[in-house]
């Protein structure tokens, strides 16, 4: 198996043999790497090209124009723009800026009325009105794709295809980011430091600059930068559910020296109020997994809902904003 295997999702619409082969390939990728590249996903390249062009126009704006939609204006929804160094990973500021989006919810949505963090309306710049349609359309397409990929993962685990939809993702928590990594970052710094993702599945689109690295055993592997392939990786909740059979793999981003980089991670996660319990697999490893986790914390000891876990994690990324809320 290559370092980062390539999976053809179009096999999901094929014969029974095709679907079984797809499930076996995904199972092996999830057990050995925790990452795979996705082809046959059905998303037209022009959609990413449009989103990329609009994002570059936004990040080229003066900071005072970008600040129109600063995250401090998003309130409890935690949406909008943050400047270079405004996000923290593993206790250190990242050498990137970005845009935060989530499910578009009206002011009268029950969770918005209740003041639940990370719920509300998105912020879009008045000087770039086209961005709204491109972002919301992308999120809808990625949500549909997330459901399809999770059906394959369910089959790979020997579960019914709709297992996740029935138990965790009928109303998924969906978050979308656009990250801008500037060229010429200071030596010894990282676009994003080592970390794992929080939820079930991340679907990443990226440009051709490169920089994403995955930790495999004792080495870091470069993920090939191909805009036509989506990079999928597993989050902490899938690690917890499978008792480490499928692991959330640490990864990081190095900035390129001579060119800016854009990435478009979409997070397809359990419902906000879902309780994520382990699936009892035969021969599962011991409950304590802190000794092999990159941050020394155990996923086995988690309690509460996915929303509780996500809020605690995001609060560490934006501690000042969390304190205000």
DSSP string over 213-251 = EEEETTEEEEPP--TTSEEEEE-HHHHHHTTTSS----E
Res 292: pLDDT: 64
225 assigned to some structural domain: yes
Residue 273 has pLDDT above 90, yes or no: yes
CATH code (residue 121): 2.60.120.330
Residue 187 has pLDDT above 70, yes or no: no
d(CA 240, CA 238): 5
pLDDT in tens, 210-219: 889 998 877 8
100 assigned to some structural domain: yes
292 assigned to some structural domain: yes
1 assigned to some structural domain: no
Question: By residue range, what is the domain housing residue 226?
Answer: 6-324
In 3D space, the residue among 325, 203, 182, 318 whose CA is nearest the CA of residue 255 turns out to be: 182
d(CA 186, CA 148): 40
How many folded domains does the chain comprise? Answer: 1
As a whole number, mean pLDDT of residues 295-324 equals 78
Question: CB of 118 within 8 A of CB of 310?
Answer: yes
d(CA 325, CA 322): 5
pLDDT in tens, 199-251: 999 999 999 888 899 988 778 999 988 999 999 999 999 998 998 889 899 99
223 assigned to some structural domain: yes
């Amino acid at each position: 198996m290559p370092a980062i295997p390539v999976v053809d999702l179009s096999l999901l619409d094929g014969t029974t043999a095709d679907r079984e082969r797809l499930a076996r390939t995904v199972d092996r990728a999830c057990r050995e790497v925790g990452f795979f590249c996705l082809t046959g996903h059905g998303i037209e390249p022009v959609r990413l090209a449009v989103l990329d062009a609009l994002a570059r126009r936004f990040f080229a704006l003066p900071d005072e124009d970008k600040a129109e939609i600063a995250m401090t204006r998003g309130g409890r929804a935690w949406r909008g723009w943050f400047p270079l160094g405004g996000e923290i990973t593993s206790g250190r500021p990242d050498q990137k800026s970005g845009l935060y989006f989530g499910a578009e919810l009206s002011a009268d949505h029950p969770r918005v009325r209740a003041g639940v963090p990370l719920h509300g309306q998105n912020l879009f710049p008045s000087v770039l009105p086209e961005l709204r349609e491109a972002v919301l359309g992308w999120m809808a397409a990625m949500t549909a794709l997330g459901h399809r990929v999770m059906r394959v993962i369910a089959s790979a685990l020997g579960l019914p295809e709709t297992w996740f939809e029935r138990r965790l993702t009928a109303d998924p928590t969906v978050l979308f980011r656009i990250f801008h990594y500037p060229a010429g970052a200071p030596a010894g710094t990282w676009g994003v430091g080592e970390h794992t993702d929080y939820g079930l599945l991340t679907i990443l689109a990226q440009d051709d600059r490169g920089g994403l690295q995955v930790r495999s055993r004792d080495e870091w592997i470069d993920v090939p930068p191909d805009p036509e392939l989506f990079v999928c990786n597993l989050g902490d909740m899938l690690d917890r559910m499978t008792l480490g059979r499928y692991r959330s793999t640490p990864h990081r981003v190095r900035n390129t020296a001579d060119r800016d980089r854009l990435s478009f991670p979409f997070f397809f996660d359990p419902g906000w109020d879902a309780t994520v319990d382990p699936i009892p697999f035969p021969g599962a490893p011991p409950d304590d997994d802190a000794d092999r986790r990159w941050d020394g914390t155990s996923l086995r000891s988690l309690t509460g809902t996915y929303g509780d876990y996500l809020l605690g994690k995001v609060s560490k990324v934006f501690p000042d904003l969390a304190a205000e809320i």
